[in-house]
Structure 1
Amino acid sequence: MKPHPGPQEARRPASDIRVFASSCTLHGLGHVFGPGGLTPRRGLWAAAVLLSLAAFLYQVAERVRYYGEFHHETALDERESHRLTFPAVTLCNINPLRRSRLTPNDLHWAGPALLGVEPAEHAAFLRALGQPPAPRGFMPSPTFDMARLYARAGHSLEDMLLDCRYRGWPCGPENFTAIFTRMGQCYTFNSGADGAELLTTPKGGMGNGLEIMLDVQQDEYLPVWRDMEETPFEVGIRVQIHSQEEPPTIEQQGFGAAPGYQTFVSCQQQQLSFLPPPWGDCSSASLDADFEPEPSGPLGAPSPSPGPHPPYSLMGCRLACETRYVARKCGCRMMHMPGGAPVCSPQQYKDCANPALDAMLRKDACTCPNPCASTRYAKELSMVRIPSRASARYLARKHNRSEAYIADNVLVLDIFFEALNYETVEQKKAYEVSELLGDIGGQMGLFVGASLLTILEILDYLCEVFRDRVLGYFWNRKHSQRHSSTNLASHPSLCCHQDFVGIPPHPLPCHTALDPASVSSGLHPDILDMPRLLVSLPSSPQIKF
């Protein structure tokens, strides 16, 4: 218990440090500024208080520095759900163009650039396709559209899809959306395009997902005329499983499914959550793929622009970045790229677009941050041979094909969730503001025995010091000036005895101590009387002040 202040201490102002130390809850302060002189005991207490305060401030600075580094930690968890949204499934035939749909006009425009067929070899190539040569007087079209070529000559899903079921219910080409990729025209199941409702599944395991039977149409594959950079030597389809917010990059992230096999794909959903700056580097801003004719800075993530855009995704950012790069280099875009730039011609594909895009991918010139929230799918694949000997004849009769054709062209793809659980990978702040305040409060209590109310006491004392020392100084100065002006107003004349004491008539202020009435009345006993003043003053006619 703190001792009660004595009568002498009670008269001290609140701004006195001893008064403050006697009532402050800061430990040790009362022993330093207590009554009495300087003693060894007081010196030891002062050293202990200073050392504790220095240790406290060091710990606070260390905690603030650690908080300023913005550390984060990653938490991995597995959660269960009663229903999961089925992913988007994009599939492409490895062969981009059907041989039966190519025309002499297509060869004229796209033969040298895409197929490696020179004009002198057009007749031989048409014979290899099983088509007659170009008629006499053939005149190519004045313009050529690459997107129309792949839409017309690419593999049609109506011809490839032999059977389709989702959770045991029949589906068809109407449940797929056509989309262009770098492999040509592809098809996406459950894309959610045009506001379509996304499919969900309440169960995991086989029979609760997508099961399709496809005909790869190997008879429609183009003959390999010359070894080109993108000449396909394999047969089958390429498949990518992705979220609806992410555009497919099937040429980079797709897996293959071969004819003559049934491929089982067991999926598990993973939800990723990243932190924005300064703890992380994620972004959620939508991007615009349209390019600027005059680039003003280094190539990076395209800047957001107003207007409706798809949600931000890492692949979407890279695709927009690639679009801007190719558009700046070549003045056009590839057919799978978004934006409003014109589609490149076959010659632009060969001379500029393909080399520029390949060089860009090798340099990894696009700097795209991770999305703040994304979904991806882990996959496990297994395969079995089809058809069996028992089913080959049945499938041949059902689809009006030979058994050899079924073995060489038909495949089955079965995609399903392994179980109705999903993984969450979440970045969290390793050091929150509440933890920082808790650490500071703990160090404060450990070293100086203070709390938040102690800080309020110190602030209150500083206010008292400011009021008494600063404001009091100006108030006393103003009061004394006002008192002096009041005395001048009550005694306007100069002192009356200047001639009597031998002082020349200088304009001296009239003080009551020099007033004969005041002296004679005894109001100022500590002022010399007039005879002594006459004796003590020199006989000089002037006194210099």
Structure 2
Amino acid sequence: RGGLGPPAVLLALATFLYQVAGRVRYYGEFHHETALEERESRRLTFPAVTLCNVNPLRRSRLTPNDLHWAGPALLGLEPAEHAAYLRALGRPPAPPGFMPSPTFDVARLYARAGHALEDMLLDCRYRGWPCGPENFTTIFTRMGQCYTFNSGADGAELLSTPKGGMGNGLEVMLDVQQEEYLPVWRDVEETPFEVGVRVQIHTQEEPPLIDQLGFGAAPCPAAPPPATWPGNTTAARPTSREPGGALEAGVPPGLGTPATQRSPAPGALAAGTRGVQQTLSSSRENVLVLDIFFEALNYETVEQKKAYEMSELLGDIGGQMGLFIGASLLTILEILDYLCEVFWDRVLGRRFWNRKRPQRPSSANLLQEGPGSHRTQVPHLSPGPRPPTPCSAVAKTLSASHRTCYLVTRL
């Protein structure tokens, strides 16, 4: 038993220190956990919607001065390519003796040559109520001049909606003005290879990062918007029983009916057909409709918090301490206090006592003192039996410190 005690204590102490080191290392890795909760609301604030045309500058607004200053950075043009680029834009070349302006402002370039919302916005409605360019805020991003709906800028009241579904949000019809797109001259970051707008839905406190977080919306040729045909006659199906149809009421579809008609001249018919085709083609290429709404009035809250708190670390250390070495915080403090006392008594205390202790007088000096001196009576030692020593005296002899007695009692 005496030989197994020290190894068992050392093994328990080593296991305790290993567990504590693992817990401290895990705490230093800063693990976290995510809580996802879905909540419902009777009314939600409508988010901000930012729109940007993927084409940053309109070709009809560029000038030789713009190409001189912004051509290398925005379009990747060299000075020798300015004349060819102007021809590609359908613009006349720079006049002889052209001198660029001494200064240049890129913000003014985007404000002047960028797509204007007054020209792009064909129709706008919020929850059925009409809206217009005055309900949008102009901002500048990496994509140029953009527009934000319900931004809350300048203290404007934020819009909200009490319902979900289509018709309870923002509906806009936009003309992307594809005829104003810049030609693909060189593969640079600002060269648009797509047609349409880029949209980002975000909160009012979040700045738009539309080039990174936005999504694209392009005109859809498969679903063209309604077009107005020439004339004001309502077209009907051939089998319709209405007066505008090809058959009269009560006539079976397989039988013919005598009728008179007036047909336009072939040239007029071809011209009218070309006008309709151009209108439809232009609508398919340029017009898009965006409908932004809440599917339901609920939202998700995502919360990240610490997976391992300081209190849990201290609790684990205390549990390992009680499991392996059978100690608590008070026991550790008592052991440290005892070691400090031992160090003070055995090392510092002995040096201090040897330096300050007075010299005891010898017995020869006491015998040589005169009759007027004070004499100390020495008790006579008889060879009789020694009286017994009480238990308390033994305890005081074994332990000179009450803290040591307390520590021995605890252990």
Structure 1 length as normaliser, TM-score? 0.50
Q: Displacement of 1:412 after TM fit? A: 0.8
Mapped to 2, the partners of 1:433 and 1:237 lie a distance apart of 50
How does 1:318-357 map onto structure 2 within 5 Å? none
Q: Which amino acid letter does the alignment assign opposite residue 512 of structure 1? A: L
Q: Structure 1 residue aligned with 2:139, among 179, 189, 192?
A: 179
Matches of 2:50 and 2:108, distance apart in 1: 20
CA 1:66–1:141: 2 relative to 1, 3 Å: closer
Q: Is the 8 A contact 1:74 1:425 kept in 2?
A: no
Is 1:441 paired with 2:318? Answer: yes
Q: Give the Å deviation of 1:424.
A: 4.5
Q: Which amino acid aligns with 2:144?
A: G
Deviations 1:137-175 (A, max 9, x none): 765544433322221121111111122233444332223
The unaligned stretches of length 5 or more in structure 2 are 233-277, 382-411
Separation of aligned partners in 1, 2:307 and 2:112? 55
User: What is the aligned partner in structure 2 of residue 392 from structure 1?
Assistant: 227
Per the alignment, residue 248 of structure 1 pairs with 208
Instruction: Report the counterpart of residue 511 of structure 1 in structure 2.
Output: 365
Corresponding residue to 1:163 among 123, 138, 149: 123
Verify the 8 A CA contact 1:73 1:427 in the aligned structure 2. yes
One-letter code aligned to 1:74: E
Task: From 114, 118, 136, give the equivalent of 2:81.
Answer: 118
1:303 equivalent in structure 2: none
Match of 1:455 in 2: 332
Aligned residues: 330
Map 1:395-410 to 2 at 5 A. Answer: 402-410=279-287
Could you tell me how far apart the structure 2 residues matched to 1:64 and 1:134 are? 72
C-alpha distance in 2 between matches for 1:149 and 1:49: 80
1:38-83 Cα shifts (integer Å, max 9, x gaps) = xxx555445544443343333333333333x324133241331425
**Aligned counterpart, 2:36:** 77
Match 1:87 to one of 42, 47, 51: 47
One-letter code aligned to 2:315: G
> Cα distance 1:62–1:209, how it changes in 2: closer, same or farther (>3 A)?
same
One-letter amino acid of the structure 2 residue matched with residue 118 of structure 1? E
> Does the 8 A contact of 1:513 with 1:524 survive in 2?
no
Q: 1:49 to 1:164 in 2, by over 3 A?
A: same
- Contact preservation (8 Å) 1:72, 1:427: no
- Aligned residue type for 1:435: E
- CA drift of 1:202 comes to 4.6
SS at match of 2:308: coil
**Residue in 2 aligned with 1:66?**
26
The 3 A distance-change label for structure 1 pair 478 and 524 is farther
Matches within 5 A, 1:25-36: none
Instruction: Please report how far the alpha carbon of residue 392 of structure 1 lies from its aligned counterpart in structure 2 after TM superposition.
Output: 2.3
Deviations 1:469-498 (A, max 9, x none): 5676467557741x74xx5xxxxxxxxxxx
Cα distance in 2 for residues equivalent to 1:205 and 1:157: 26
* SS across alignment from 1:392: coil
Separation in 1, partners of 2:329, 2:24: 18
Number of the residue aligned with 1:239? 199
Contact kept, 8 Å, 2:58 with 2:181, in 1: the verdict is yes
Q: Residue type matched to 1:449 in 2? A: G
Distance 1:173 1:194 in 2: 16
1:150 maps to 2:106 = no
Contact 1:175 1:190 in 2 (8 A): yes
Mapped partners of 2:49, 2:368: distance in 1: 112
Query: Are residues 469 and 182 of structure 1, via their aligned partners in 2, closer, same or farther at CA, if it must alter by over 3 Å?
Result: closer
Change (3 A) 1:524 1:164: same
Question: Are 1:53 and 2:13 matched, yes or no?
Answer: yes
**Deviation of 1:90 (Å):** 2.0
Partners of 1:94 and 1:123 in 2: CA distance: 21
Cα deviation, 1:434-478, whole Å, max 9, x if unaligned, reads 122111211222223222332344345446646765676467557
Structure 2 CA distance for partners of 1:80 and 1:470, relative to 1, 3 Å: same
Q: Does 1:417 align with 2:294?
A: yes
Shift, 1:413, TM fit: 0.9
AA in 2 matched with 1:407: R
C-alpha distance in 2 between matches for 1:44 and 1:110: 86
Task: Measure how far apart 1:214 and its partner are.
Answer: 0.9
Q: Distance in 2 between matches of 1:459 and 1:133?
A: 91
Q: 1:46 to 1:160 in 2, by over 3 A?
A: same
Q: Is the 8 A contact 2:39 2:301 kept in 1?
A: no
Contact 2:83–2:94 under 8 Å retained in 1: no
Deviations 1:4-63 (A, max 9, x none): xxxxxxxxxxxxxxxxxxxxxxxxxxxxxxxxxxxxx55544554444334333333333
Q: 1:84 to 1:461 in 2, by over 3 A?
A: farther
Gaps of 5+ in 1: 1-40, 262-383, 488-507, 527-545
From 165, 168, 172, the counterpart of 1:205: 165
Amino acid at match of 1:72: H
State the Cα deviation string for residues 109-161 of structure 1 (Å, max 9, x = none). Answer: 556773858354477456x35xx776777655444333222211211111111
1:199-249 per-position Cα deviation (integer Å, ceiling 9, x unaligned): 444544333332211111233334x37445344343211222344454434
1:151 is matched by which residue type in structure 2?
A: A
Identity %: 70
Q: What is the TM-score with the length of structure 2 in the denominator?
A: 0.63
For 2:365, the aligned partner's letter is H
CA 1:44–1:177: 2 relative to 1, 3 Å? same
> What SS does the corresponding residue of 1:118 show, helix, strand or coil?
helix
Amino acid of the structure 2 residue aligned with 1:393:
T
Quickly say closer, same or farther: Cα 1:81–1:470, change in 2 above 3 A. Answer: farther
The 5 A counterparts of 1:283-322 are none
Q: What is the identity, as a one-letter code, of the residue corresponding to 1:73?
A: H
